[in-house]
Chain A
Amino acid sequence: MTIETQTGVGTAVCRLDQVRREAGVAALVDGEAVAVFRTYDDEVFALSNFDPFGKASVLARGIVGSRTVRTAAGEEEVPFVASPLLKQAFDLRTGVCLDDPAVAVPTWDVHVVDGIVVVGGRRETL
């Protein structure tokens, strides 16, 4: 199903309540496997489902939580998913691996419209 939203056109993949808090689901978007996550405070994020370390399409099945990351600006509470295979952590917002910043997985725009999760375009950059 293709729907119009304020921000453009995207793929409606499921109702928000089909994604449990602090968990993910895999969706097929434009022929590709995308992992859609919902955090504790109901934010949604979309990452490629493919784990570049384990080389398998599994990220949606990982544990979602938060990790404190120390940067020059101070401490930040980062929402992340741990790969179910070998537990590398990925920042849900950017797709960057928290254990190895040289590695990142692609991310997608995603919104909730009237209780429906809509995955938009794949982001060109981080």
Chain B
Amino acid sequence: MAPHLRKQLVVVGHGMVGHRFVQAAIERGLTETYDVVVLGEEPRPAYDRVALTSFFEVGAEALSFLPEGAYDDPRVTLRTGAVVTGIDREARQVALAGGEVVHYDELVLATGAAPFVPPVPGKDLDNVFVYRTIEDLEAIREASRGARAGAVIGGGLLGLEAANALHQLGVQTHVVEMAPRLMAVQVDDAGGAVLKRHIEELGLTVHTGVMTELIDGDDDGKVSGIKFKDEETMPLDIVIFSAGIRPRDALAREAGLEVAERGGVLVDEQCRSSDEHVWAIGECAAPGGRMYGLVAPGYTMAEVVVDTLLGGGAGAFTGADMSTKLKLLGVDVASFGDAFGTADDCLELVFADAVAGIYKKLVVTENADGGFELLGGILVGDASAYGVLRPMVGSGMALPENPEELILPAGRGGGVELGLPDEAQVCSCNDVTKAQIKAAVSDDATLNDGGPCTDAGCVTRCTKAGSTCGSCKTVVKKIVEDHFAATGKTVDKSLCEHFAMPRQELFEVVAVHGYNRFDDIIEGHGRGRGCDICKPTVASILASLLNHHVLDGSNATLQDTNDAYLANLQKNGTYSVVPRIPGGEITPDKLIVIGEVAREFGLYTKITGGQRIDLFGARMEDLPKIWKKLVDAGMESGHAYGKSLRTVKSCVGSTWCRYGVQDSVGLAIELEMRYRGLRSPHKLKGGVSGCARECAEARSKDFGIIATERGWNLYVCGNGGAIPAHAQLLAGDLDRETLIRYLDRFLMYYIRTADRLQRTSYWMDAIGGLDRIREVVVDDSLGLGAELEAAMARHVDSYFDEWKATLEDPEKLARFVSFVNAPDTPDPNITFREERGQVQAAANDGPVSLGSTIPVGGAR
């Protein structure tokens, strides 16, 4: 098409819905005919506002939907920091804050909503915040430093989320709600009472049924207190308003477009406003007069507009599911469908356990066949059934004979398996049905690079089911697994051809039988003689369980390349040697010894990415001599060769740094010394930073610890490498003893249950996410805590240096020769070249011969 025929589409607002609109426009080909210009007011591209609270844990980068800052499609222009100030419908152009105007053929408003701040005196004081953008959260975090107490005004879904975040920032937090109960929109009185108890158990103070009269300020114009009606002023330093949202419809109003009575750009079922070239989607829109404060309806609206602009008449927005699940740490609350039982002739089934703090209500109705159908419900204290129950609403599916089974705890007959009908919507955020999930994994699917999805994670990537709030993930996984099981496509979990079980099972087998030899294990539970996959796996399991020398007896031949020689094999057949430098701290004397060793043996030296020194190019027969010098100088193996603890990286911390709040070097050394030599499914790395500046990059480690004023925050399951993952907060403000206890449990739990070569981040996804780890490690839900700690204590007590032990054992030393029949002849195949004044490995094209220096005979 000739360029001058292309039309221009302008999107105002680059939030969640604006972004989804552009994505759909690109995917479905709208950019074939339109140039798209996106004008967003925020300083950064769209990000996951639903997950906003996790900003405190993961940072802005991780929340971004568009980390590269631009769309792949060159026909889309994204401008951030661009505030639209007016619409000229006559001229079809929008005006920007700087005075610039941008022409449009079609205009899509996706300006979202703004938090509502009631006209309370003092609302403009410093340290009064709302909770909507990354900038809001940054400011709240800044103000929380040194703040003692704060209040969140509004006890709804968002208010509670904000309150918990404030509490996590170490501020004593009050939740102030005008209504007589929390989450008044979603939860009934009985549920609200249970919820209140849970919130109070988190350490928050809840005030319900109170009116805020004014916010008091000090001489600097900062918040100093809050006064409720008929009460004394309560001193505090921070106030966050979370008293509802209002659609940002000012642009539309000023341009004379129709708006709904309670706000929002009035649009029809195609999301078209009263001007045929202006559309509104997301929270700024009011289809049929009603605005929706959730992301899922906004996404549907975005799809509908793309549909309509493409000329397809199919899409229409006709209302939305307002189900919600609270994303609060440690409190399970969900409300879905007709939660208050407003339909005629409906029945309520209630299960309440005051002691356990559980309240569950199902709203059901009798159908024509005399069975029951689910209309909605409320779950407080245990929302595990949410994923199964929510899709049943509106699916027309009949409930089991005794519907109360659905909400009874598992031990009392609950936990029944349910077959959802294919049309049931499983992911409400992205409107994905069970049938669509099954289609994604079916043989003729083409979503995954032209083929079917291979697992639940792949389905989430390809269909978006589970990618937003995450509450449907367990159901998605179940559907995928059931599908594979039903089609006889069992996911093969065999370790290799010799063992028909995954590592985790093999670990159990070895532990239960108390095996200590590979031969017994493969005879009893495998076939053949093993290979380069199962042998190192068994070696690692035995090492974790027995903590013996890895080169002991017949186990020596199981070890992988590097473990077999307690050093890392290099490409020319030589080895590298890495002495342990705990926490990266080293004395000048040891540094000098390392330098001397390198000089004596002609080794290439390099500072590693793990805060220590690697000596490369050592001949196998020289390894014992090198170790001896290092051991004599008080050093030991750094296990750079093992699937085991590598390093615990440290920053300098409070001993020198002017920002440090704890002794990070001291803790890093303590942890490295505690877990050194611990054999694990994959390598393990740790890090300790002395303050939130995070100079030790602890959050890129399997376990990372960041000092706080009150102790240590423990993050788990991060890594660098090919697919980096940020570690996530497992528990905050721990004292040293608790921290070590959690770490002991965490590491042992990983060692026992992870798959071969599975780093902690993948393991976390496989076993059920951070929540599962928290249950086992922090809440000790499996009652395994003491056992895991005892296992770690055994490891710590039985640690020895593998290098030293090898030096003391002639039998082990005997293997460290170039040739069994010519131990004094260096291998002529090993060659070096020189670069920048040091040796480098050089390759040979073929075997090198010394010539016939040893007499031979026989036919040649």
* Residues of A participating in the B interface, judged by any CB pair closer than 8 Å: 1-2, 8-14, 18-23, 25-33, 36, 39-40, 48-50, 52, 54-58, 61-68, 77, 79-80, 82, 84-85, 87, 89, 109, 120-122
Report Cα–Cα, A25/B846, bound state, in Å.
20
Instruction: Specify which of B529, B557, B573, B819 is in contact with A28 (CB 8 Å cutoff).
Output: B819
Q: Is residue B282 contacting chain A, with contact meaning CB distance below 8 A?
A: no
Report Cα–Cα, A1/B855, bound state, in Å.
7
A36 cross-chain contacts in B, Cβ below 8 A: 820
Q: Is residue B354 contacting chain A, with contact meaning CB distance below 8 A?
A: no
Q: Is residue B587 contacting chain A, with contact meaning CB distance below 8 A?
A: no
Instruction: Specify which of B532, B843, B857 is in contact with A65 (CB 8 Å cutoff).
Output: B532
Instruction: Specify which of A52, A57, A61, A82 is in contact with B829 (CB 8 Å cutoff).
Output: A57
Tell me whether B531 and A8 are in contact (CB under 8 A): no
Whole-angstrom distance between the Cβ of B665 and the nearest chain A Cβ: 36
A-B contact pairs, 30 of them (CB 8 A): A9-B856, A10-B856, A10-B857, A10-B858, A20-B556, A21-B554, A21-B557, A22-B557, A23-B556, A23-B557, A26-B819, A27-B819, A27-B820, A28-B819, A28-B825, A30-B849, A30-B854, A30-B856, A32-B847, A32-B850, A33-B828, A39-B529, A57-B830, A64-B557, A65-B531, A79-B529, A82-B532, A89-B531, A121-B858, A121-B859
Nearest 5 A/B pairs, CB to CB: A9-B857, A57-B829, A82-B532, A31-B850, A84-B561
A52 cross-chain contacts in B, Cβ below 8 A: 846
Q: Is residue B342 contacting chain A, with contact meaning CB distance below 8 A?
A: no
Instruction: Specify which of B497, B529, B569, B828 is in contact with A84 (CB 8 Å cutoff).
Output: B569
Instruction: Specify which of A11, A20, A49 is in contact with B856 (CB 8 Å cutoff).
Output: A11
B856 cross-chain contacts in A, Cβ below 8 A: 2, 9-11, 29-30
Report Cα–Cα, A22/B849, bound state, in Å.
27
A25 cross-chain contacts in B, Cβ below 8 A: 815, 820
- Which chain A residue lies CB-closest to B829? A57
Tell me whether B845 and A29 are in contact (CB under 8 A): no
- Which chain A residue lies CB-closest to B536? A63
Q: Is residue B490 contacting chain A, with contact meaning CB distance below 8 A?
A: no
A19 cross-chain contacts in B, Cβ below 8 A: 820
User: From DSSP, what is the main secondary structure of chain A's interface residues?
Assistant: strand
Report Cα–Cα, A85/B572, bound state, in Å.
10
B530 cross-chain contacts in A, Cβ below 8 A: 22, 65-66
- Which chain B residue lies CB-closest to A106? B847
Tell me whether B820 and A61 are in contact (CB under 8 A): no
Q: Please judge, given known A-B contacts A66-B529, A122-B860, whether A56 and B820 are in contact too, CB under 8 Å.
A: no
Tell me whether B529 and A65 are in contact (CB under 8 A): yes
Tell me whether B556 and A57 are in contact (CB under 8 A): no
Tell me whether A63 and B854 are in contact (CB under 8 A): no
Q: Is residue B853 contacting chain A, with contact meaning CB distance below 8 A?
A: yes
Tell me whether B849 and A32 are in contact (CB under 8 A): yes
Tell me whether A67 and B819 are in contact (CB under 8 A): no
- Which chain A residue lies CB-closest to B519? A40
Tell me whether B569 and A55 are in contact (CB under 8 A): no
Whole-angstrom distance between the Cβ of A118 and the nearest chain B Cβ: 10
Whole-angstrom distance between the Cβ of B569 and the nearest chain A Cβ: 6
A62 cross-chain contacts in B, Cβ below 8 A: 532, 561
Whole-angstrom distance between the Cβ of B609 and the nearest chain A Cβ: 22
Tell me whether A54 and B571 are in contact (CB under 8 A): yes
Tell me whether A28 and B532 are in contact (CB under 8 A): no
Q: Please judge, given known A-B contacts A57-B829, A121-B860, whether A87 and B532 are in contact too, CB under 8 Å.
A: yes
Per-residue interface assignment for chain B, residues 683 to 703, with 1 indicating a CB less than 8 Å from any chain A CB and 0 otherwise = 000000000000000000000
Per-residue interface assignment for chain B, residues 817 to 852, with 1 indicating a CB less than 8 Å from any chain A CB and 0 otherwise = 011111001011110000000000001111111111
A109 cross-chain contacts in B, Cβ below 8 A: 858
Q: Is residue B209 contacting chain A, with contact meaning CB distance below 8 A?
A: no
Q: Is residue B528 contacting chain A, with contact meaning CB distance below 8 A?
A: yes
Whole-angstrom distance between the Cβ of B619 and the nearest chain A Cβ: 11
Tell me whether A50 and B846 are in contact (CB under 8 A): yes
Whole-angstrom distance between the Cβ of A65 and the nearest chain B Cβ: 4
* Residues of B participating in the A interface, judged by any CB pair closer than 8 Å: 497-498, 528-532, 534-536, 554, 556-558, 560-561, 564-565, 569, 571-573, 814-815, 818-822, 825, 827-830, 843-860
B848 cross-chain contacts in A, Cβ below 8 A: 57
Tell me whether B821 and A27 are in contact (CB under 8 A): yes
Instruction: Specify which of A18, A50, A54 is in contact with B847 (CB 8 Å cutoff).
Output: A50
Tell me whether A56 and B572 are in contact (CB under 8 A): yes
Whole-angstrom distance between the Cβ of A46 and the nearest chain B Cβ: 12
B529 cross-chain contacts in A, Cβ below 8 A: 22, 39-40, 64-66, 77, 79
Q: Please judge, given known A-B contacts A22-B557, A33-B829, A121-B858, whether A13 and B845 are in contact too, CB under 8 Å.
A: no
A82 cross-chain contacts in B, Cβ below 8 A: 531-532
A39 cross-chain contacts in B, Cβ below 8 A: 529
- New A-B pairs, 10, CB < 8 Å, besides A57-B847, A65-B498, A68-B497: A8-B857, A12-B821, A13-B821, A18-B820, A28-B825, A30-B854, A33-B829, A57-B827, A58-B573, A65-B528
Report Cα–Cα, A10/B363, bound state, in Å.
89
Whole-angstrom distance between the Cβ of B205 and the nearest chain A Cβ: 60
Q: Please judge, given known A-B contacts A22-B557, A56-B571, whether A67 and B821 are in contact too, CB under 8 Å.
A: no
Whole-angstrom distance between the Cβ of A43 and the nearest chain B Cβ: 12
Tell me whether A28 and B569 are in contact (CB under 8 A): no
B569 cross-chain contacts in A, Cβ below 8 A: 58, 61, 84-85
Whole-angstrom distance between the Cβ of A70 and the nearest chain B Cβ: 11
B556 cross-chain contacts in A, Cβ below 8 A: 20, 23
Report Cα–Cα, A40/B534, bound state, in Å.
16
A87 cross-chain contacts in B, Cβ below 8 A: 532
B853 cross-chain contacts in A, Cβ below 8 A: 31
- Which chain A residue lies CB-closest to B532? A82
- Which chain B residue lies CB-closest to A8? B858
Tell me whether A14 and B528 are in contact (CB under 8 A): no
Whole-angstrom distance between the Cβ of A45 and the nearest chain B Cβ: 14
Tell me whether B818 and A63 are in contact (CB under 8 A): no
A66 cross-chain contacts in B, Cβ below 8 A: 528-531
Report Cα–Cα, A60/B324, bound state, in Å.
62
Report Cα–Cα, A76/B851, bound state, in Å.
38
Report Cα–Cα, A18/B749, bound state, in Å.
40
Tell me whether B821 and A85 are in contact (CB under 8 A): no
B536 cross-chain contacts in A, Cβ below 8 A: 63
Tell me whether B859 and A8 are in contact (CB under 8 A): yes
Whole-angstrom distance between the Cβ of A89 and the nearest chain B Cβ: 8
Tell me whether B847 and A84 are in contact (CB under 8 A): no
Tell me whether B531 and A2 are in contact (CB under 8 A): no
Report Cα–Cα, A122/B852, bound state, in Å.
14
Tell me whether B844 and A55 are in contact (CB under 8 A): yes
B564 cross-chain contacts in A, Cβ below 8 A: 61, 84
B819 cross-chain contacts in A, Cβ below 8 A: 26-28, 33
A26 cross-chain contacts in B, Cβ below 8 A: 818-820, 827
Whole-angstrom distance between the Cβ of B534 and the nearest chain A Cβ: 8
B858 cross-chain contacts in A, Cβ below 8 A: 8-10, 109, 120-121
A29 cross-chain contacts in B, Cβ below 8 A: 854, 856
- Which chain A residue lies CB-closest to B539? A63
Tell me whether B821 and A14 are in contact (CB under 8 A): yes
Report Cα–Cα, A80/B498, bound state, in Å.
14
Whole-angstrom distance between the Cβ of B849 and the nearest chain A Cβ: 4
Q: Please judge, given known A-B contacts A20-B556, A65-B531, whether A31 and B849 are in contact too, CB under 8 Å.
A: yes
B845 cross-chain contacts in A, Cβ below 8 A: 55
Q: Please judge, given known A-B contacts A22-B529, A31-B851, whether A56 and B857 are in contact too, CB under 8 Å.
A: no
Tell me whether A48 and B847 are in contact (CB under 8 A): yes
Of B535, B561, B849, chain A has the most CB atoms within 10 Å of the CB of: B561
Of A8, A27, A67, chain B has the most CB atoms within 10 Å of the CB of: A67
- Which chain A residue lies CB-closest to B558? A63
Report Cα–Cα, A64/B556, bound state, in Å.
12
Report Cα–Cα, A57/B103, bound state, in Å.
70
Report Cα–Cα, A61/B859, bound state, in Å.
28
Of A1, A25, A56, A57, chain B has the most CB atoms within 10 Å of the CB of: A56
Tell me whether A11 and B821 are in contact (CB under 8 A): yes
Tell me whether B857 and A28 are in contact (CB under 8 A): no
Tell me whether B852 and A30 are in contact (CB under 8 A): yes
Report Cα–Cα, A84/B561, bound state, in Å.
5
Whole-angstrom distance between the Cβ of B703 and the nearest chain A Cβ: 29
